[in-house]
Amino acid sequence: MDFKQVIDEVFARLDREQIRYALIGGFAMAMRGVQRATVDLDILLLRQDMDRADEIMLARGYQLAFRSDNVSHYRATGTQLGRVDVLHAFRGPSLAMLERAERLEVWPGTTLPVAQVEDIIGLKIQAAYNDKERADQDWLDIQSLVRTARASQQSLDEDLINDYLSIFGQEHRLADIKAWYDPPE
């Protein structure tokens, strides 16, 4: 996948059309300082903008591979555009994630809205809960995000993280997250 091409051609168009989205997933983790191999781009996108986003994706050469109430998956075959997975934002927590997203510089002259660390953690908690086979990797990703925040002296909103844990009955994991941020001497 040619990330630069997708960002320059597809995401720039989303910006021009004033479509609300934010990077999530592996690329967002990299933007937040956690290097992780990824082969696609994942975004959170305002559900009411899906029709316009769909037009942009299809016009650029993507095919809609799957759609549900919650997600859309786009694939481009025979090109460097790869795969873009879209999580539809329409519930309170995902709408708040879009509001909190901040534009970060990807390379000189190009910025993208990126979900906050706590929101990426929240999505990873959800992913771990939904797919037990991936849970270990998702919790390792959470640990990396927390430790990177600590190393860069970035404070984390513990209440927001606990809210995400509570949604999935994982409140007991808050102690782990606190220990990753502030390990005992």
CA-wise closest residue to 36 among 23, 44, 27 = 27
Taking the C-alpha atoms of residue 118 and residue 103, their distance in angstroms, rounded to an integer, is: 16
Distance CA 70, CA 91 (A): 10
Grouping H, G, I as helix, E, B as strand and the rest as coil, residue 105 is strand
The CA distance from 24 to 138, in Å, is 13
**What are the pLDDT tens digits along the chain (185 aa)?**
999 999 999 999 999 999 999 999 999 999 999 988 888 999 999 999 999 999 999 999 999 999 999 999 999 987 799 999 999 999 999 999 999 999 999 999 999 999 999 999 999 999 999 999 999 999 999 999 999 999 999 999 999 999 999 999 999 999 999 999 998 77
Structure confidence at residue 135 (pLDDT): 97
CA-CA distance, 112 to 106, in Å (whole number)? Answer: 7
Res 108: pLDDT:
95
Residue 84 CB contacts under 8 Å (≥ 6 apart), including other chains: 6, 10, 40, 41, 42, 43, 57, 62, 73, 74
The residue among 115, 150, 172 that closes a domain is 115
Q: Check whether residue 49 and residue 123 sit in a common domain.
A: no
Token pair of 87, please?
């999580």
Let me know whether 94 and 137 are in one domain. no
- Last residue of some domain: 115, 140, 156? 115
Instruction: Note down the domain range covering 160.
Output: 118-181
Beta strands, E only, 71-114: 71-75, 83-89, 102-107, 110-114
pTM of the entire predicted model: 0.95
Supply the pLDDT for residue 58.
96
Domain containing residue 34: CATH number:
3.30.460.40
> Do residues 72 and 40 lie in contact, with contact meaning Cβ atoms separated by under 8 Å?
no
131 and 108 share one domain? no
Domain co-membership, 86 together with 8: yes
